[in-house]
């Protein structure tokens, strides 16, 4: 039997809600990528040119530190990896996670939450942070006020 895991970064809880539903549906462990310094409301203000999130996302080489760098991925085939869309891609803290762990030979299925944007160039920016034999695929973006059932239905296709 294949072993799966759900991993998410969530700054304000929305993606965590989706991640929990996916983990529950697929019966996987759920690991949250935890920033060393939590994001405050001010940090998340995308209208502020000098907010932490704006500065991080305007420097694609930024790698915000995380507390739980290494995750036990032994025997894992598929990682369901979730995050909020920030400036049309994944937050660079997701790159931090990918670079801290060896995902060689594994499959990553992305899911995200957003105000309305799709994955955009997400895969392109995450690819640089994984081995050449890691397969990244776009799962689903849950936008706006999505229903629990949308997430459960998405997850069910991987049972």
Ligand X SMILES: Cc1cc2nc3c(=O)[nH]c(=O)nc-3n(C[C@H](O)[C@H](O)[C@H](O)COP(=O)(O)O)c2cc1C
Q: Is 146 in the site for ligand X (CB under 6 A)?
A: no
Nearer to ligand X, 11 or 155 (CB): 11
Where in 42-81 is the site for ligand X (CB under 6 A)?
A: 44, 46, 53
Nearer to ligand X, 11 or 98 (CB): 11
> At its nearest, how many Å lie between ligand X and the CB of residue 36?
17
> At its nearest, how many Å lie between ligand X and the CB of residue 2?
27
The alpha-carbon radius of gyration of the chain (Å, integer) is 15
Number of residues that bind ligand X (CB under 6 A): 20
> At its nearest, how many Å lie between ligand X and the CB of residue 64?
12
Q: Is 84 in the site for ligand X (CB under 6 A)?
A: yes
Nearest Cα to Cα of residue 37 among 73, 59, 79, 67? 67
Which pair of tokens denotes residue 77? 């085939």
DSSP 38: P
Q: Is 115 in the site for ligand X (CB under 6 A)?
A: yes
Which pair of tokens denotes residue 10? 């969530």
Say if CB 96 and CB 125 are below 8 A apart: no
Q: Is 148 in the site for ligand X (CB under 6 A)?
A: no
**Interface residue with ligand X, options 22, 31, 71, 85 (CB under 6 A):** 85
Count of CA atoms in the C-beta half-sphere (13 A) of 2: 10
Cα separation of 93 and 72, whole Å?
A: 18
Q: To which residue do tokens 């891609």 refer?
A: 89
**Interface residue with ligand X, options 47, 50, 61, 116 (CB under 6 A):** 116
Q: How far is CA 100 from the centre of its chain?
A: 14
- Binding residues vs ligand X (CB under 6 A): 10-16, 44, 46, 53, 84-88, 113-117
């Amino acid at each position: 039997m294949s072993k799966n895991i759900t991993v998410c970064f969530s700054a304000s809880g929305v993606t965590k809600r989706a991640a929990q539903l996916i983990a529950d549906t697929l019966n996987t462990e759920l690991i949250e990528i935890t920033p060393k310094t939590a994001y405050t409301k001010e940090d998340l203000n995308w209208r502020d040119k000098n907010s932490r999130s704006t500065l991080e996302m305007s420097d694609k080489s930024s790698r915000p530190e995380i507390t739980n760098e290494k995750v036990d991925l032994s025997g894992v085939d598929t990682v369901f990896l979730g995050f909020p869309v920030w400036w049309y891609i994944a937050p660079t803290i997701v790159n931090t996670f990918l670079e801290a762990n060896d995902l060689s030979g594994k499959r990553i299925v992305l899911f995200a939450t957003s105000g309305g944007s799709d994955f955009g160039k997400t895969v392109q920016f995450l690819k640089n942070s994984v081995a050449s034999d890691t397969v990244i695929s776009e799962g689903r973006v849950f936008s706006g006020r999505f229903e629990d059932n949308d997430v459960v239905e998405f997850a069910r296709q991987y049972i």
